[in-house]
Structure 1
Amino acid sequence: MIRSLVSVAALALACCPAATTQAQAPGRPYAVQGVCGGLPATTVRMAESYCLGRVWQRTGGDGPRMPRGLLQLSETDWLVTDLGTWDAGRGALWRMRVQGETVVWTRLMRGLSMPHTIARGPDGRVYLAEMSRIIAFDPARPEAAVAVVEGLPDNRLHENRHPLSSFIFDGDGALLVNVGAPSDRCLTPAGRPIADASGQCAQGAEQAMVRRYAMTGPGRWSPTWTAYATGLRNSVAMVRHPSGAVYQGENSVDLTTANRPFDEINRLTAGAHYGWPYCTDMATALPGWSARQARCGQRTPPVSLLPPHAAPLAMLYYDGAMFPELRGRMLMSWHGHRQAAGRVVAIETDANGAPLTDTRALYAVYPRGALPYPSSAPAPRARVLTPGWNAVAGSHPMGAPVGMAVARDGSIWIADDRNAAILRIARP
């Protein structure tokens, strides 16, 4: 333990068994040995009383190239979003049918642009976020999908650093939607601030925020938005606790150092500014912005730091039966490729879903050991469920967990996009 509605005319659909998608080299394989909850067990070293089973890994043929989001439909069937590539129009939505070790894929939609988040809405429909819109549909009739939010920035990767949309539903039905920052630090190639007349970042007027789209009726949302929370570089990971609290996992800026800056957990409140591109860690001004411009003391600080470059991409509260010791904890996937990432963690929380934190804490790094958080900064009281998910030659690749879902039996399902795999945490 570490303390330690508009119809989508342009949507291309394929509602019958899919043909093979454009060839992509499969990720490094997961070796298996033994059984994990009825599936082949990977050789990834796990926390005691947990195992990581291999549901599926791409070796050619049908199935997603870059699986990102997961949604269970029935005991055997799942929906899986497939980023495809970091290019517009190359993504897909798949139905995955799992019967023991047999997995059958059916492609339901194709021609999507960087699909990521998928979730049930308050009306029972399925909602899916693409790069520049959110669509809703009945899984039995995907050809009847409609757009419920449009006009999100067309964030093509090499024109915009953070192209993925993500969303959660607030308690009143409003959609809270991530619109990532268009650059890393709002600087020119020469390292000068891209500033407006007031000296603040000119890129934060419509991006680097979570937008709020008010619900206007059953299955309908306002075409206009308000800024819910600003100064957020990339809010792909968001979760709402039943108490009403909304939390976000912040992917901080890309400095060249492996041990700075720290990523963050923020509690989002309406009207708050969280520091991008001026401040990081608890109150450190970022290079390129003066202390006067940064005004770090006016920023809403994080409730907890996370390891540097952990890259949180999913958050959820565990509510399953398989792991009663995790009930109520905040699960996070750390997707990054550096020494602290490639992990799934379970963070202790209070009754309102707030992460419990310690000071003078350490975070684990690969291949072994631990490094300190800033001594006085809050750090999550977390258990790493996957302590050995670094690359091990001949055994398994470094994990790249993205989307997670708690299945009906309480197991934890994970999409690994870099290695084109679907995995499952269960009891040995």
Structure 2
Amino acid sequence: MRSLILAALLTGAALPALAQGAAPADTKAKTDDLEKLQGFQSTNTQPAPEIPQTGRRADAIRKTLSKIKLPDGFKIDLYAVVPDARALAVGPNAGVVFVGTRKSKVYTLTDRDKDRVADEVRAFAPGIDFKIPNGVCFSRDGVLTIVEQNRVLAFPAAEFFYENPDVAAGVLVKQGELIPASEESFNHTARVCRVGPDGKTYIALGQPYNVPAPSKMDLYKKWGIGGIVRLDADGKNREVYATGIRNSVGMDFAPDKSLWFTDNQVDGMGDDTPPGELNRATKAGQTFGFPWYGGGLVRTAEYKDQTPPADAVPPMADLPPHAADLGMTFYNGKQFPDAYKGGIFIAEHGSWNRTQPIGARVMFAKLGADGKVESVKPFAEGWLTGDGEYLGRPVDVAVLLDGSLLVSDDAAGAVYRISYEK
């Protein structure tokens, strides 16, 4: 289906029919814009203004970066000033970076002179009324998927046509049908996505509670809330891929095609329990223990008298309690030393539910030849001061085409670039 969408774009044909639906009156104008974009019609939307890349804010961010500790040979620089920067998607052809947010915009970062610093930052598709467009991911053939709180959109050849405010768009899952509207919440609404080796789009759906009531379990299992769902490239044939997940905000496919993901675990159980999780799904239908387990093998008070599923898959690694491990990526680049190749970089957003805060760093999980996690250690740290002040809060990590590592930070409003020189 992605190839059909792209072919339609390049030939000027109509986009394949994708799921659509009526919108409330107060969003009618924006809905009309989206419908026009689906038919390659102009919306007369003006280009979004550029985000300034110089001045006091950029200088302050660079001052913070001078305090970040990295292994020998590595350095960190400001790649772009990006308000509310969260999930990252690097275009597979031109290397344009798309950045999701937990607000109402998706941004594009363009490095025209290839000096590894973004020259231009603008909002993408400014005529579309996005709602929490956190999830961004590319297919290998260049189709961008944006997953909002309760809608999924597709943009063929986005990194070649993004500079025009009018871009070809398709609706994969219409508004209100990713989850039931009754389950929309302000909590755990930042979706993430990945396009798998099978061409399907995988979407993590965090459930909105610290621990959900038993009365919610059947509904959530049916919809994949507190789990991962997958769809065909055209949005059809939705199925629940994995369950028993509290709130995953980071996932990536390993070279062996298994899906690894982080999971934020139950709050309010103490500073040092339960641990966060790094998990691995090897097939459809697996469950990962929540809400019977609050994290790792720690039982929740709410479900302590119930028997957990016998087939619950344990984590590949326990992560520091309440550090809020979010985005993750396998390192598939060639720039870093061999010790990092095939390992996993993880962005820790930093704790809120601890008397002594931890996190706000980038971790590295080293894998052994057997595919198991040998260690998880800090790679880049210094955004959390000894006084407990956050100078930044990493959210996501992505490998740039040159093999360097991008890190987003929604507190500082920035994207950083970590590079290595021998």
Q: TM-score, normalised by structure 1?
A: 0.74
2:287 counterpart of 1:273 = yes
When residues 343 and 274 of structure 1 are mapped into structure 2, their CA distance, relative to the original with a 3 A threshold, is same
Match of 1:417 among 388, 410, 416: 410
Supply the distance in 1 between the matched residues of 2:382 and 2:57 (Cα, whole angstroms): 22
Cα deviation digits, residues 305-325 of structure 1 (max 9, x gap): 111112222111112222123
Deviation at 1:147, TM superposition (A): 1.6
Q: Contact 2:90/2:138 (CA < 8 Å) preserved in 1?
A: no
Aligned residues: 363
Q: State the match for 2:395 in structure 1.
A: 402
Deviation at 1:76, TM superposition (A): 8.2
Q: Contact 2:92/2:142 (CA < 8 Å) preserved in 1?
A: no
Q: State the match for 1:387 in structure 2.
A: 381
Cα deviation digits, residues 137-194 of structure 1 (max 9, x gap): 12234521112233212779983521122222232212221111121101xxxxxx44
Q: State the match for 1:182 in structure 2.
A: 208
Supply the distance in 1 between the matched residues of 2:214 and 2:144 (Cα, whole angstroms): 39
Supply the distance in 1 between the matched residues of 2:182 and 2:411 (Cα, whole angstroms): 19
Q: State the match for 2:77 in structure 1.
A: 53
Match of 2:226 among 197, 200, 208: 208
Cα deviation digits, residues 195-221 of structure 1 (max 9, x gap): 37xxx67644421111122x3xxx423
Q: State the match for 1:238 in structure 2.
A: 251
Q: State the match for 2:68 in structure 1.
A: 44
2:204 counterpart of 1:173 = no
Q: Contact 2:105/2:124 (CA < 8 Å) preserved in 1?
A: no
The SS at the match of 2:327 is: strand
The SS at the match of 1:195 is: helix
Deviation at 1:411, TM superposition (A): 1.1
Mind listing any 5+ residue stretches in structure 1 that lack a counterpart? 34-40, 58-63, 187-192, 358-380
2:366 counterpart of 1:348 = yes
Match of 1:112 among 109, 126, 130: 130
Deviation at 1:123, TM superposition (A): 3.3
**AA matched with 1:285:** R
Deviation at 1:414, TM superposition (A): 1.0
2:253 counterpart of 1:253 = no
**AA matched with 1:422:** V
Deviation at 1:398, TM superposition (A): 3.4
Q: Contact 2:222/2:240 (CA < 8 Å) preserved in 1?
A: no
Mind listing any 5+ residue stretches in structure 2 that lack a counterpart? 1-17, 21-30, 38-42
The SS at the match of 2:260 is: strand
Q: State the match for 2:49 in structure 1.
A: 18
Q: Contact 1:320/1:410 (CA < 8 Å) preserved in 2?
A: yes
When residues 42 and 78 of structure 1 are mapped into structure 2, their CA distance, relative to the original with a 3 A threshold, is farther
Q: Contact 1:169/1:175 (CA < 8 Å) preserved in 2?
A: yes
Q: Contact 2:226/2:245 (CA < 8 Å) preserved in 1?
A: yes
Q: Contact 2:346/2:396 (CA < 8 Å) preserved in 1?
A: no
Cα deviation digits, residues 8-50 of structure 1 (max 9, x gap): 74549856242679xxx979932439xxxxxxx6321222222
**RCO greater where, 1 or 2, for CA within 8 Å and sep 6 or more?**
1
Cα deviation digits, residues 227-274 of structure 1 (max 9, x gap): 211111112211111212111111111125221111111112322221
**AA matched with 1:152:** L
**AA matched with 2:123:** R
Supply the distance in 1 between the matched residues of 2:207 and 2:383 (Cα, whole angstroms): 30
What does 1:82-231 correspond to in 2, within 5 Å? 82-83=100-101, 85=103, 90-97=104-111, 99=113, 100=115, 103-110=119-126, 111-137=129-155, 138-139=157-158, 140-142=160-162, 143-150=167-174, 151-153=177-179, 159-186=185-212, 193-195=213-215, 203-206=220-223, 207-213=225-231, 215=232, 219-222=233-236, 224-231=237-244
Supply the distance in 2 between the matched residues of 1:249 and 1:156 (Cα, whole angstroms): 26
Supply the distance in 2 between the matched residues of 1:346 and 1:403 (Cα, whole angstroms): 13
Q: TM-score, normalised by structure 2?
A: 0.75
Q: State the match for 2:345 in structure 1.
A: 331
When residues 180 and 74 of structure 1 are mapped into structure 2, their CA distance, relative to the original with a 3 A threshold, is closer
**AA matched with 1:32:** K
The Cα RMSD (Å) is 3.3
Supply the distance in 2 between the matched residues of 1:390 and 1:79 (Cα, whole angstroms): 26
2:60 counterpart of 1:29 = yes
Q: Contact 1:70/1:78 (CA < 8 Å) preserved in 2?
A: no
Identity %: 21
The SS at the match of 1:68 is: coil
When residues 157 and 423 of structure 1 are mapped into structure 2, their CA distance, relative to the original with a 3 A threshold, is farther
Cα deviation digits, residues 253-304 of structure 1 (max 9, x gap): 112522111111111232222122121333322012233x242655222121
Q: State the match for 1:427 in structure 2.
A: 420
The SS at the match of 2:106 is: strand
